[in-house]
């Protein structure tokens, strides 16, 4: 049974190369079946825009699962973005809030936790 659902935002995806906490999270998900990592497609695209080739690299990681955006999700992310939230962060907020089929609460695992203040979403600060 999966007990830990962790959503990776764009800043965290960018930190895959060089951040020990993020690397440890990938390693943990590989060896512990109760941990599942999720990357919103929009977060992946935002990270790939900064570091071309990152999307392809993520596609090779079997432990990172993607979260697509349907029309209602795209509208919710757009509303957050209009309020000043970066798209990759907005997609992570939406994913953590709106995927009840996971059967457990999801956390956003991030290297930039300050971006989630005031958005009522649980965060795992990967800087600690």
What does the alpha-carbon distance between residue 9 and residue 114 come to, in Å, rounded to a whole number? 13
pLDDT number for residue 32: 87
Q: Are strands 123-125 and 106-110 parallel, antiparallel or unpaired?
A: parallel
pLDDT number for residue 100: 54
Domains and CATH numbers, the chain: 4-125 (3.40.50.1010)
pTM assigned to the model: 0.91
- Give residue 105's pLDDT band: very low, low, confident or very high (50, 70, 90): confident
pLDDT digits (tens, 9 = 90+) for 92-101: 999 998 765 6
pLDDT digits (tens, 9 = 90+) for 15-66: 998 889 999 999 999 998 888 899 999 999 999 999 999 999 999 999 999 9
Tally Cβ neighbours within 10 Å of residue 65.
13
DSSP string for residues in 7-50: EE-HHHHHTTTT-HHHHHHHHHHHH-TTEEEEEEHHHHHHHHHH
Token pair recorded at residue 37: 């990592």
Helix then strand count (H, E) for the chain reads 6, 5
Give the CB-side neighbour count of residue 45, counting CA atoms within 13 A.
Answer: 10
- Give residue 112's pLDDT band: very low, low, confident or very high (50, 70, 90): very high
Residue 102, pLDDT > 60, answer no
CA 8 to chain centre: 2
pLDDT number for residue 103: 61
Name the strands in the sheet holding 106-110, side by side, starting at the edge strand that comes first in the sequence.
64-67, 35-40, 4-8, 106-110, 123-125
pLDDT number for residue 19: 87
């Amino acid at each position: 049974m999966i007990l830990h659902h962790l959503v990776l935002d764009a800043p965290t995806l960018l930190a895959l190369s060089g951040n020990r906490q993020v690397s440890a999270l990938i390693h943990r998900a590989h060896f512990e079946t109760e941990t599942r990592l999720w990357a919103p497609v929009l977060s992946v695209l935002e990270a790939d825009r900064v570091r071309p080739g990152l999307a392809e690299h993520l596609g090779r990681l079997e432990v990172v699962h993607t979260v697509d955006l349907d029309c209602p999700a795209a509208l919710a992310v757009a509303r957050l973005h209009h309020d000043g939230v970066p798209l990759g962060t907005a997609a992570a907020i939406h994913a953590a809030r709106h995927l009840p089929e996971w059967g457990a609460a999801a956390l956003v695992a991030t290297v930039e936790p300050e971006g989630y203040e005031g958005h009522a979403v649980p965060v795992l600060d990967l800087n600690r």
